[in-house]
């Protein structure tokens, strides 16, 4: 346990020494403060702590619309853009050197000559790397938690789901980065390959979704006219893409789980479809959006298959690390 704490402490010092860590932390705090600056009063929405004002009957203080909008800004936009995109990229850049630098001549020797198994060392250093995102997300979420209490008047504990979910997403990517780092000892290559895999994961998810609707949505007329042999061929292609999807870490889909997990005081999640319906202008569109928002895959499938792949990647990286001469 002492060894684990020592390595964790050292990882923390490493992060503290990186200017990018502090820059990210400051931006996280700033983004959360901007969120906090949005409020509601008896006439509508206020911005910049009341400096600017937009009138809206739907979004008056204490209304369900205000709660829906405020929760949705967090779960859809702040998490989607800041936490699961910008923070992750900055996390990958900051944590990229952890393994390559450790494996430099003269650096690994001191640690590896200690009575600690290489597997334990590998896992501890991996966990240490996750600290970057854990700290950033924790700070961000705490401010959001306080902001929701201040603006909406409820303690919304479900926002803390963002910590394990963002951490899980980062762990998928970091495992790839660690593997590449162990294999090549190059920081730059490990960052680039990880971002490439991230992009590929997005392409695979998009392809699977598009092909699914193309092949299965016969009733709503989206399927093109195909003869049975063509349809069979498309089914084969879809099965192939589906398999690819299964063995790819589902970065965007795991992030999107936060939409389900962050709920409002009525126990429902914040849906854009609900918001449109609440406006009462386009009920059909609202229903369509709500339907599209329902994920086709269960949380267990999305996280289970992704973690399974992550485990395989880590096992291979750990095996290479444990057998390498330094």
Partner 1 sequence: MSDAAVEIEYLRKRYGRFEALGGVSLTVPKGSVFGLLGPNGAGKSTLVKSLLTIIRPTECRGTLLGAPIGDRKTLRRVGYLPEQARFPEYLTGRQVISYSGQLTGVSNSEIKSRMDGLLSLVGMQGWADKAVSTYSKGMRQRIGLAQAMINTPDLIFLDEPTDGVDPEGRIDIRRMIDTMKAAGQTVFVNSHLLSEVEQVADYVAILARGQVIRSAPMSELTRGGQRYVIRSSGPVPPFVREKLEQNGIKVAGDTVTLETDNVSTVQPVIDALRTANVLIREIREEKPSLEDIFLEAVKGQGREAA
Binding mask 145-164 toward partner 1 (x if CB under 8 A, else -) reads --------------------
Which residue of 14, 152, 309, 313 would you call a contact of partner 1, by CB under 8 A? 14
Name which of 14 and 166 has its Cβ closer to partner 1: 14
Closest by CA position to 251, among listed 201, 290, 215, 193: 201
Name which of 104 and 196 has its Cβ closer to partner 1: 104
306-325 positions binding partner 1, by CB under 8 A: 323, 325
The distance of closest approach from Cβ of residue 183 to partner 1 in the complex, given in angstroms and rounded to an integer, is 17
- 273: its two tokens: 């479809």
Note the helical H segments in the chain.
2-17, 19-37, 64-72, 87-95, 98-102, 108-112, 118-151, 162-184, 187-216, 228-246, 251-261, 272-279, 283-293, 299-323
Name which of 281 and 323 has its Cβ closer to partner 1: 323
Q: Does 81 bind partner 1 (CB under 8 A)?
A: no
**DSSP letters for 140-158:** HHHHHHHHHHHHTSS--GG
Name which of 40 and 122 has its Cβ closer to partner 1: 122
Q: Does 78 bind partner 1 (CB under 8 A)?
A: no
The distance of closest approach from Cβ of residue 20 to partner 1 in the complex, given in angstroms and rounded to an integer, is 13
Name which of 73 and 135 has its Cβ closer to partner 1: 135
Contact between 149 and 37 under an 8 Å Cβ cutoff? The reply is no
Q: Does 6 bind partner 1 (CB under 8 A)?
A: yes
The distance of closest approach from Cβ of residue 17 to partner 1 in the complex, given in angstroms and rounded to an integer, is 3
Binding mask 83-122 toward partner 1 (x if CB under 8 A, else -) reads ---------------------xxxxxxxxxxxxxx-----
Residues in contact with partner 1, counted by CB under 8 A, come to a total of 28
Name which of 16 and 149 has its Cβ closer to partner 1: 16
The distance of closest approach from Cβ of residue 105 to partner 1 in the complex, given in angstroms and rounded to an integer, is 7
The distance of closest approach from Cβ of residue 113 to partner 1 in the complex, given in angstroms and rounded to an integer, is 4
Closest by CA position to 143, among listed 263, 35, 66: 35
Residue partners of 251: CB distance under 8 A and separation at least 6: 84, 169, 172, 173, 198, 201, 202, 205, 306
The distance of closest approach from Cβ of residue 193 to partner 1 in the complex, given in angstroms and rounded to an integer, is 25
Name which of 16 and 236 has its Cβ closer to partner 1: 16
The distance of closest approach from Cβ of residue 82 to partner 1 in the complex, given in angstroms and rounded to an integer, is 27
Cα separation, 324 vs 193, whole angstroms: 21
Angle made by CA atoms 287, 220, 252, in degrees to the nearest 5:
60
CA dist 12 → 18, 100, 134 (Å): 10, 17, 11
Name which of 105 and 219 has its Cβ closer to partner 1: 105
Cα separation, 181 vs 229, whole angstroms: 46
Which residues, listed in sequence order, are joined to residue 53 by a DSSP beta bridge?
A: 46
Cα separation, 71 vs 208, whole angstroms: 29
Under the rule (CB under 8 A), what is the footprint of partner 1? 2-3, 5-7, 9-10, 13-14, 16-17, 104-117, 323, 325-326
């Amino acid at each position: 346990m002492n060894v684990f704490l020592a390595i964790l402490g050292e990882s923390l010092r490493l992060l503290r020494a990186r200017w990018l860590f502090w820059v990210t932390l400051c931006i996280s705090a700033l983004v959360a403060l901007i969120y906090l600056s949005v409020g509601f009063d008896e006439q509508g929405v206020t911005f910049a702590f009341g400096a600017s004002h937009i009138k809206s009957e739907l979004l008056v203080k204490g209304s369900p619309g205000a709660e829906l909008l405020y929760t949705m800004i967090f779960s859809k936009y702040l998490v989607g853009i800041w936490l699961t995109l910008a923070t992750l990229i900055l996390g990958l850049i900051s944590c990229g050197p952890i393994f390559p630098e450790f494996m430099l001549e003269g650096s690994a020797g001191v640690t590896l000559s200690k009575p600690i198994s290489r597997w334990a060392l590998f896992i501890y250093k991996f966990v240490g790397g996750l600290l970057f995102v854990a700290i950033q997300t924790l700070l961000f979420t705490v401010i959001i938690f306080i902001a929701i209490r201040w603006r909406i008047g409820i303690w919304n504990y479900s926002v803390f789901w963002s910590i394990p979910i963002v951490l899980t997403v980062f762990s998928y990517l970091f495992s790839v980065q660690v593997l590449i780092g162990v294999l090549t000892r190059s920081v730059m290559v490990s960052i680039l390959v990880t971002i490439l895999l991230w992009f590929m994961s997005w392409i695979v998810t998009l392809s699977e979704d598009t092909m699914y609707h193309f092949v299965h949505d016969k009733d709503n007329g989206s399927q093109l006219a195909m003869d049975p042999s063509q349809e069979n061929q498309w089914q084969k292609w879809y099965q192939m893409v589906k398999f690819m999807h299964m063995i790819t870490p589902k970065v965007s889909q795991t992030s999107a789980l936060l939409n389900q997990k962050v709920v409002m005081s009525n126990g429902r999640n914040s849906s854009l479809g609900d918001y449109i319906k609440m406006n009462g202008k386009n009920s059909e569109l609202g229903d369509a959006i709500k339907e599209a928002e329902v994920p086709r895959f269960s949380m267990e499938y999305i996280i289970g298959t992704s973690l399974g792949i992550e485990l395989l990647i880590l096992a291979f990286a750990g095996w290479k690390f444990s057998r390498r001469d330094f």
